[in-house]
Amino acid sequence: MEIGLHQLLFLSTALFFIGVYGFLTRRNMITMLMAIELMLNALNINFVAFNKYLWGGKLDGIFFTIFVIAIAAAEAAVAIAIIINIYRNYSSIDVEDADNLNL
């Protein structure tokens, strides 16, 4: 059987919902961030697959993937700065413990 778009879409959908499962079950901020990274990866696979199989004449999907990766890097850096700051104030990075924004 030849690999087509459907197999790639199955992979990206499964990866996305694994990320959603992790986001819903975990209560630790770093592991929730990891689940978000998995979801972003799944949609990058989607962009690349659609660009390769449906719009071969253009490179728009590639550009979206590059920009998503850049924004994911910025987001991870800011999120980790916030997490470390929360750890400094609450001595815990459980989302249930961080219940007050006004320190």
Partner 1 sequence: MTISTLIFYFISAFTLVMAFLAVTSRQIFRSAIYLLFSMMGVAALYFWLQMEFIAAVQIVVYVGGIVVLIIFSIFLTHKVGSDLPEPTYTRTLFAGLATLLAFALVWSVVKRNEFFSDQFLNELNVKQIGADMLNYQEGGFILPFEVVSILLLAAMIGCIVIALKLKPEKI
Are 12 and 42 within 8 A, CB to CB? yes
Residue 89 sits in the site that holds partner 1 (CB under 8 A): no
Residue 95 sits in the site that holds partner 1 (CB under 8 A): no
Please, which of residues 58-77 interact with partner 1 by CB under 8 A?
Answer: 59, 62-63, 65-67, 69-77
Collect contacts of 29-35 with beta carbons under 8 A, ≥24 apart: 29/79, 29/83, 29/86, 29/93, 29/94, 29/95, 29/98, 30/80, 30/83, 30/93, 32/95, 33/76, 33/79, 33/80, 33/83
Q: How far is the CB of 25 from partner 1 (least distance, A)?
A: 5
Q: Which residues contact partner 1 by CB under 8 A?
A: 1-7, 9-11, 13-15, 17-22, 24-28, 30-31, 33-35, 37-38, 41, 44-45, 48-49, 51-57, 59, 62-63, 65-67, 69-78, 80-85, 87-88, 93
